[in-house]
Amino acid sequence: MSQIFSYLTRLFNICSADGDNVDAAGRNNAGYLYQGDENMLNILRRNVLKSVAVGAAALVIASGLNARTAIAGDMELIEDGKLVVAFNGDMPGTGWQDGKLIGLDGELMQMIAGGLGLTVKPALMEWAAEIQSVKTRRVDIMHGMMGWNDQRIKVINISDPIYYGGANITQKKSTNWSSIKELEGRTIATIQGFGWIDQLKAIEGATLKLYDTSDAAIRDLLAGRIEALFADPPLIQFAISKNPDWDIHAVGITQGFDEKYSLLTGKYNVVFGLSQDAPELLKAVNAEIAKIWTGCKNLEVAKKYGLGERSWFDPGSLNQRAGVDRPADWKQPTLPASCK
């Protein structure tokens, strides 16, 4: 089976400041996705452990501080000169290699830290733990193919978009569902903490299953235990491209926009999450994001991960943030015509 580096990072689930807890389930999932290549698995395991251990040690130091008052400099950082970044290691969004963040979101985060003169400190954890870590100031910022929604802005600050996404229905190749109606009465799934959970629950007659990890959900889809999966579209595209023998495909939702299913039928901003106690950091991050758009850097990085289609940078016609967490006249960023 083809290699997907992102899943290996789940071997090291840093869910607390001491960094001693290793996710056994993650180890099993990586073994499943790397079966047949134990040597590569062992090499990558050692490399990831060495890299993430540095971040774990840093968080041990940070944990001795009062997270609500340990603010450094004008950007309300937890530690002066450092940007503590939460990520879950799902590629092609985020990963950690050779002392740097990788993946589409990860490389852009690394650019932002560099632009602000900061050094990244990694904090690897399950997706469901990231928002709470931001709220309690254990980390400065979270990322990983996260979509904006009006519920998240109640508890964290959200950056300007780095690119755009739209929901896909991942399913067996024997079906071609592309509307909410076609999912009625079926067994569907998504990942714990994803913003569209409540809207999936509202699908008439559908049974919704929640998974801690995307790889576990994909495994159940392949085994026929679920019929349709809503996961991060970039992750699904990346995973299928690396595993062409999988009998699944992702079909975009083609029905018109429905307010009841706004997160499923409309495009959404892919963003970073920050503490509401760090407004200056939010301003600084947004300024760097603006540079990324004008310099075509998001498109440049996306191409490295097979996501160079212009649809990832087209916000669509709906602007859900104007007048909500942005001024009424706020425009969603787009690539300049000079981007190639």
Task: Tell me the three state secondary structure of residue 110.
Answer: helix
Any residues with CB less than 8 A from the CB of 191 and at least 6 apart, and which? 127, 210, 211, 212, 213, 214, 217, 231
Same domain, 106 and 202: no
Classify residue 98: in a domain, yes or no.
yes
Whether residue 154 sits in one domain with residue 14: yes
Q: Tell me, what's the pLDDT at 195?
A: 86
Residues 179 and 100 in one domain: no
- One domain for residues 20 and 37: yes
From CA 63, how far away is CA 20, in angstroms rounded?
14
- 244 cis-preceded (ω within 30 degrees of 0): no
pLDDT of residue 73: 59
Q: What is the largest CA-CA distance in the chain?
A: 56
Query: Are 139 and 194 in a shared domain?
Result: no
- Mean predicted confidence (pLDDT) in 12-28: 35
Q: Does residue 339 have a pLDDT over 80? A: yes
93 within domain boundaries: yes
Query: Is residue 150 domain-resident?
Result: yes
- Within this chain, do residues 28 and 137 fall inside the same structural domain, yes or no? yes
Q: What is the per-residue pLDDT for 248? A: 97
Structural domain contains residue 317? no
Query: Are 156 and 207 within one domain?
Result: no
Does residue 200 share a domain with residue 63? no
Same-domain pairing of 250 and 146: no
pLDDT over 80 at 24, yes or no: no
- Shared domain check, 226 and 124: no
- pLDDT category, 309, cuts 50, 70, 90? confident
The answer to the question of residue 312 being in a domain is no
Residue 13 lies in a domain: yes
| Same domain membership, residue 131 and residue 38 | yes
CA distance 335 to 326: 20
Beta-strand relationship, 82-87 and 119-124: parallel
- Average pLDDT of the segment spanning 179-197: 95
What is the residue range of 281's domain? 5-163+269-305
Is 181 part of a structural domain of the chain? yes
Average pLDDT taken over every residue of the chain: 83
Count: domains in the chain:
2
In this structure, what CATH number is given to the domain that contains residue 183?
3.40.190.10
**238-284 pLDDT tens trace:** 899 899 999 999 999 988 889 899 889 989 999 999 999 999 999 99
- Give the C-alpha separation, 146 to 162, whole Å: 10
Domain contains 235? yes
